[in-house]
Amino acid sequence: MTISSVTSLLIWLPIGAALVVWVLPLSRYATGSLAVLVSLVEVGLWIEQAARFDFDAGGLQFSQRASWFSDLHVSYHVGEYGFSLWLVGLTVVAMAASVGYGFWVGRERPRAYFGLQLFLTGATVGVFVAQDLLLFYAFFEAMLIPLYVLVGVWGGAGRLGATIKLLIYTMAGSLFMLAAIVVYGLKEGTFDLVDGPTSASRWLFLGFMLAFLVKAPLFPFHGWLPDAYREAPAEVTAVLSGVIAKAGTYGMLRIAIPTFPEPTSYYRTTVLALAAATLVYGSVLAFRSPDFRGVVAYSSLAQSGLITLGLFSGTGLGYDGAVLQMVAHGLISASLFLIAGAVERRTATGELRLLGGMARGRPALATLLVTVGIIALAVPGSASFAGEFLILAGSYQRAWWWASIGAGAIVLAAMYMLRLISAVLHEARGPAVADEAMDVRPGELALVVPLVACLLALSAWPAGISHHSFAGDAPSGVVQGQFK
Amino acid sequence: MIHAPHVDWFALSTVLALLGASGVALLGAVLVPRPAQRAFAATVAALGFTGGIVASVWLYVASASGHRVVANAFYRDRWTALAQAIVCAVGLATTLLSVEHMPGWSRDADRSRRDDHVAEFFALLLASAAGMAFFVGAANLMTLFLSLEWLSIALYVMCAIDYDREGSLEAGLKYLVVGSFGSATLLFGSALVYGATGSIGFPEIAHAVSARGLSHDVLLVLGLALVIAGLAFKSSAAPFHMWTPDVYQGAPTPVTAFMSSATKVAALVLALRVLATAFPQEARLWTWAFAGIAVASLTIGNLAALVQRDVKRILAYSSISHAGFVLIGLSAGTALGGRALMYYLIPYAAMAFGSFAVVAARERELGVPVTLDTIAGFGWERPFLGVAMWFFLFGLAGLPLTGGFVGKFYVLAAAYDHGWAWLVIVGVLATLVSLYYYLGIVRAMYMRPSDELRVGAAVAGGSPPREALLHVSVGLALAVAVGSLFAVEPLVDLARHAASSLPF
């Protein structure tokens, strides 16, 4: 186990930068540049960390521990497992693109905006590296605060309703997690995730799961999702669906499943049924959705179902596939929402019936959307194909019908993605599409292309993640044995 | 022949510093020429509170083993000293906030700054703080009642000090009537307890109860119930909260800020002391009673806050619900509960004070009551105050930006530790409901443009100048609120040493 403060730096550098941005009266340009610079430094720090990570040894690395309050045995304990490393990578990359996008479109009130974005970066990294329950909870909640303001201030016309739903839904889930944390921690005498013993309490498991099911989200806990994804600024939706929603599935993987093995198997069928229902329901709604963002939003819902299917299959293949799919889908949905933002800026609408024919004269836009769309619908050879295949294989080991539902949903994915591509790019020119509407500008390309490049790299070598999430190369055994 | 008891002057030094400063400020009202009175009285008050802080810190350090002094009438221990330090710190911040306070800020009144009663105001502030400093150390039913009246009478006058304004007068009168009723209840309860046990000192009561097997004595139990009711009146816990919204809304905002933080600290700290020291045998009774009061406060405070439009009223109901949270810690009746209570009060006092201070700033700017409509756009107009308010509100809601988060965690932990998992669930549900109204204020401040502002006519004379001192007081509150999230360990150590003075 290596001791390192890089993990802490990844959390506190952006939060510190947020304070600087709030306090110093910098110009719009300076503020944006500073925010972009800090986001890039985050990416650099992460790359440096990934290069030093010992994937063969596994276990917790780059960890750091200090007492927060010893009275109740709560500590500041951070560190990374293989899969946390990948999720942190997803966070810093997607946040860098999001911050860059905000700079590029010139958001109003730059100091407040960039400060909040940086704060969000730090809090989200914190969620993925926290190894103490209370610390995890603190970051889990802290993510919501900047998000609430980002949606509420810079969002679309229906933003006020969307923020209320977002906050009340997610807090309702996570406050029960707080109750569960209090009970677990006092009963076991520690809040530490690494030292903490497993528990057989079904109530506690349900408390944790409620928070994660709302965050992921899974049907029927997804009430906040459509409004929030539609009303938030495009780049905020990109991180909300790409990264922050992953905190839900990450929580299942890191906390719910390993800490509560007995309740996990007791409720396995229930959760798998919810996941399958989410998968089908999300896919159908995505196919029926009248607007660009709606399609991507409901497809994210479906993907959450798929990831949960992999996690609760309880097989090595399922875990590997779920981690790969979390990262791949994070990158896909971040790219798609940024492209949605680009389309909306040109046409002032996201409604598919008003769009169409955008491919003509806009080759870069067409190439980007088709590339990401093809990866999203999981053509063989793509990163998400690898992820979905592993998840299906894992769930097949559990029972064949789970795999067949999952396979059916992949057909639906092809339907909604192709519908989206054709409704935006092909068909007759839509009434909202003016001839003067420009192709994607170099600035936008510079933001989306790196995300797509990551996706292509993952497509070329999905084992980079799926074989490097849990210790060793063999994706077998139960998850608790692997990283505890 | 009467023997004068030995007096430990050092144990009383906090009280004496505050009382002395109060006397000087009052003399200033007569001797200092009117234009200089404001500066003079404010300086004296600031010095008095600083002296109080120094004295209480010194007392904390020098009173590792707690004992009673002055004929067993007053506790010299760390529980007293820490509570005194909090009260004095709040008093100092209130002084900074009150320097620019204009009596009669309402829009119809003459908006030029008036200086009548300013020295008296500071004298009363110091006197009520001195009362609180004595109250938290009370060691028998007599000093308890005397100091309660002492702090209350000063507060009654302070509530009504803007006598040009109807709301202020109404607040003063209402507080006087209801508060006197609360005091009378407490006094009646004390009389019954004395009747049952024959003693007024807290440990002596406990001793008499156990020695004579009085734990099921009707007089004693009835007396205890009345004492609890009296203390709940002062800490504005439901169902004894009826005065709170009206008084908090009507009183001058600096006074509200002081009451919502300092008075609550004093009342809750003393409540645990009385119950733990004098009634340990009845622990089953009072833990259940306070659990019930906590649930009532959380329910009523949060639900009633949902429908308010006036920000001061919202914060008043929020303070009722926070009394409920602290009482969860109290009702555990354990050392952990004592620590939780003391820790909780530190960020809570800062946030309650700070949020009212920000309201005061807006009020002075517009000259109208601050509602969800008139606070619209405030966050963008006054970035510092807006961000501070943002922190206070999210902190009061228990989100992990301030020590309020850890405090909430602590009281819930104390409740679970006592075996009351149901109380944890109640606390969690109450937090969820409270989010809606706290966010309502944030939404109004940041997400609604200020051109929606429904003030009517434009404010005459433009905005008042920036108030450096008000900003300093808000900044201090912000520093304490956020700092207490990071410095949990040292603060809990302070609270632990303080709570070790109590017999758990």
Among A75, A116, A175, the strongest candidate for a mutation testing the B interface, having the largest count of B CBs within 10 A, is A175
Whether residue B492 and residue A71 make contact (CB cut-off 8 A), yes or no, is yes
pTM score, whole prediction: 0.93
pLDDT tens column, A440-469? 888 888 889 999 999 999 999 888 888 888
Residues of B with Cβ-Cβ distance to A73 under 8 angstroms: none
With an 8 Å Cβ cutoff, is B406 touching chain A?
A: yes
Q: Residue range B22-42: average pLDDT?
A: 90
The closest CB to that of A152, out of B383, B387, B447, belongs to: B447
Percentage of chain B with pLDDT > 70?
93
Contact at 8 Å (CB) between B286 and B304?
no
Q: Quick: pLDDT tens for A246-292.
A: 999 999 999 998 889 889 989 999 999 999 999 999 999 999 999 99
Is the pLDDT reported for residue B106 higher than 60?
no
B422 touches chain A (CB under 8 A): no
Tokens of B14: 């906090």
Q: Which of A232-241, A352-361, B48-57, B192-201 has the lowest mean pLDDT?
A: A352-361
Which chain A residues contact residue B444 at CB under 8 A?
Answer: none
**pLDDT by residue (tens digit) across A397-412?**
888 988 999 888 888 8
Q: What is the pLDDT of residue B105?
A: 46
Average per-residue pLDDT in chain B?
89
Flag whether residue B425 sits within 8 Å of chain A, measured between CB atoms.
yes
Q: Closest residue of A to B386, CA-based?
A: A112
The tens digit of pLDDT for each residue in B193-212 reads: 999 999 999 999 999 998 98
pLDDT in tens, B122-157: 999 999 999 999 999 999 999 999 999 999 999 999
Q: Are A191 and A181 in contact (CB under 8 A)?
A: yes
In chain A, what residues touch B400 (CB-CB under 8 Å)?
Answer: 137-139, 141-142
Indicate whether A111 pLDDT > 70.
Answer: yes
What pLDDT does B299 receive? 93
Q: Is the separation of the CB atoms in B167 and B249 below 8 Å?
A: yes
Q: How far is A115 from chain B (nearest CA, A)?
A: 12
Query: What are the structure tokens assigned to A27, written together?
Result: 């110009």
Residue B268 amino acid letter: L
Q: Which residues of B touch A132 (CB under 8 A)?
A: none
B409 touching A, CB under 8 A?
A: yes
Cα gap A402→A424, rounded to integer Å:
33
Q: Tell me whether residues A163 and B492 touch, CB distance under 8 A.
A: no
Q: What is the DSSP letter of B133?
A: H
CA distance A176 to chain B (A): 7
> B417: which chain A residues are within 8 Å (Cβ-Cβ)?
186
**Residue A201: half-sphere exposure toward Cβ, Cα within 13 Å:** 14
Cβ contact, residue pair B432, A134, below 8 Å: no
Q: Which residue has the tokens 């109208």?
A: B368
Confidence (pLDDT) at A398: 87
Cβ separation of B488 and A69 shorter than 8 Å?
Answer: yes
pLDDT the model gives residue B457: 44
Mean local confidence (pLDDT), A177-191: 91
Closest among B128, B129, B131 to B147, alpha carbons compared: B131
Average pLDDT in the B299-325 region?
93
Closest-approach residue (CA) in chain A for B491: A69
Distance (Å) from the C-alpha of residue B105 to the closest C-alpha of chain A?
Answer: 31
| Mean pLDDT to the nearest integer, B323-342 | 91
Q: Which residues of A touch B401 (CB under 8 A)?
A: 142, 145
Contact between chains at B409 and A134 (C-beta distance less than 8 A):
yes
Kindly state whether B479 is in contact with chain A, defined as any CB-CB distance less than 8 angstroms: no
Hey, what are B451's tokens? Answer: 């051109």
Alpha helices (runs of H) in A216-267, residue ranges in sequence order: 225-231, 234-239, 246-251, 257-259, 261-266
CB contact under 8 A, B401 and A159: no
pLDDT at A483: 59
Chain A nearest CA to B326, separation (Å): 17
Nearest by CB: B428 against A148, A164, A179: A179
> Which pLDDT score is estimated for B450?
58
Q: Chain A: residue nearest B426 by CA?
A: A179
Q: What is the mean pLDDT of chain A?
A: 89
Cα B121 to Cα B44, B99, B162, B393, B469: the distances in Å are: 12, 10, 10, 29, 17
Q: Residue B138 forms beta bridges with which residues?
A: B74
Are B410 and A72 inside 8 Å of each other by CB?
A: yes
Residue A114 to residue A379: CA distance in whole angstroms: 37
* Cβ–Cβ below 8 Å for B432 and A171: yes
Quick check: B378 contacting A, CB < 8 Å? no
User: What torsion, rounded to 10 degrees, do the Cα atoms A442, A444, A446, A450 define?
Assistant: -140
* Subunit contact A142:B432, Cβ cutoff 8 A: no
Of B448, B199, B236, B227, the closest CA to residue B322 belongs to: B236
Rounded to the nearest 5 percent, the helix, strand and coil shares of chain B are 75, 0, 25
Q: DSSP letters of B66-93?
A: -EEETTTTEEESHHHHHHHHHHHHHHHH
Residues of chain B found within 8 Å of residue A163, distances taken between Cβ atoms: 439, 443, 447
**Looking at residue A240, what is its pLDDT?**
92
Which of A84-93, A136-145, B26-35, B268-277 shows the lowest per-residue confidence on average (mean pLDDT)?
B26-35
Nearest CB to B413: which of A72, A137, A138? A72
Q: At residue A101, what are phi and psi to the nearest 5 degrees? A: -65, -40
Query: What average pLDDT does this structure show over B472-500?
Result: 92
Kindly state the helix (H) or strand (E) to which residue A341 belongs, with its residue range. helix A316-347
- Does residue A176 have a pLDDT over 60? yes
Report pLDDT for A476: 41
DSSP, collapsed to helix, strand or coil, labels residue B198 as: coil
User: Domain-by-domain residue ranges, chain A?
Assistant: 276-468
Taking the C-alpha atoms of residue B299 and residue B71, their distance in angstroms, rounded to an integer, is 43
Tell which phi-psi region holds residue A64, choosing left (phi > 0), alpha (psi between -120 and 50) or beta: beta
- The distance of B457 to chain A (nearest Cα, Å) reads 27
Lowest mean pLDDT among A350-354, A417-421, B193-197: A350-354
Residue B107 pLDDT > 80, yes or no?
no
- Other beta carbons within 10 angstroms of residue A12's beta carbon come to 14
Q: Which residues of B touch A172 (CB under 8 A)?
A: 432
How sure is the predictor about A63, in pLDDT bands with cuts at 50, 70 and 90?
confident
- How far apart are the C-alpha atoms of B354 and B476, rounded to whole Å? 9
Answer yes or no: do A160 and B447 touch at CB < 8 A. Answer: yes
Instruction: For B421, name the nearest residue in chain A, comparing CA atoms only.
Output: A183
- Across residues B303-323, what is the average pLDDT? 93
- In this predicted structure, what is the pLDDT of residue A263? 92
How are the residues of chain A apportioned to helix, strand and coil, as percentages rounded to the nearest 5? 75, 5, 20
- CA of B222 vs chain A CAs: smallest distance (Å): 35
Q: Tell me the pLDDT tens digit for each residue of B207-241.
A: 999 898 888 888 999 999 999 999 999 889 988 89
**If you average pLDDT over residues A177-190, what whole number do you get?**
91
How many C-beta atoms surround the C-beta of residue A164 within 10 A?
A: 19
Q: Count chain A–chain B contacts defined by CB atoms under 8 A.
A: 82
Q: What's the confidence (pLDDT) of residue A200?
A: 87
Task: Give phi and psi for B460, each to the nearest 5.
Answer: -70, 140
Angle among Cα B337, B340, B344 to the nearest 5 degrees reads 145
Residues of B in contact with A141 (CB under 8 A): 399-400, 405
Residue among B325, B452, B488 with most chain A CBs within 10 A, to mutate: B488
Residue B159 and residue B168 in contact, taking contact as beta carbons nearer than 8 Å = yes
Alpha-carbon distance A80 to nearest alpha carbon in chain B (angstroms): 22
Radius of gyration over every alpha carbon of chain B, rounded to an integer in angstroms: 22
Chain A environment of B380 (Cβ under 8 Å): 109
Q: Which residues of chain A approach chain B closer than 8 Å at the C-beta?
A: 22, 67-72, 109, 112, 134, 137-139, 141-142, 144-145, 148-149, 152-153, 159-160, 163-164, 167-168, 171-172, 175-176, 178-179, 182-183, 185-186
Which of A23, A70, A71, A206 has the most B C-beta neighbours within 10 Å, making it the best mutation to test the interface with B? A71
Q: With an 8 Å Cβ cutoff, is B39 touching chain A?
A: no
In the stretch 303-362 of chain B, residues with CB closer than 8 A to chain A read 339
pLDDT at position B57, please? 95
Cα of B295 to nearest chain A Cα, Å: 16
Question: Would an 8 Å CB–CB cutoff place B436 in contact with chain A?
Answer: yes
**Residue range A234-241: average pLDDT?**
92
- Say what the pLDDT of residue A1 is: 47
Dihedral class, residue A270 (left if φ above 0, else alpha if ψ from -120 to 50, else beta): alpha
Label residue A243 by pLDDT band (50, 70, 90). very high
- Residues B399, A142: C-beta atoms closer than 8 Å: yes
**Burial of B279 from C-beta contacts in 10 A (0-12 / 13-18 / 19+):** buried
C-alpha distance from residue A82 to each of A43, A323, B244 (Å): 17, 10, 54
Residues of chain B neighbouring A134 (CB-CB closer than 8 A): 409
Write down the pLDDT at residue B363.
Answer: 85
CA B487, CA B233: separation in Å to the nearest integer? 32
pLDDT for A482 beyond 60: no
Average pLDDT of the residues in A425-443? 83
Q: What are the chain A neighbours of B405 within 8 Å (beta carbons)? A: 138, 141
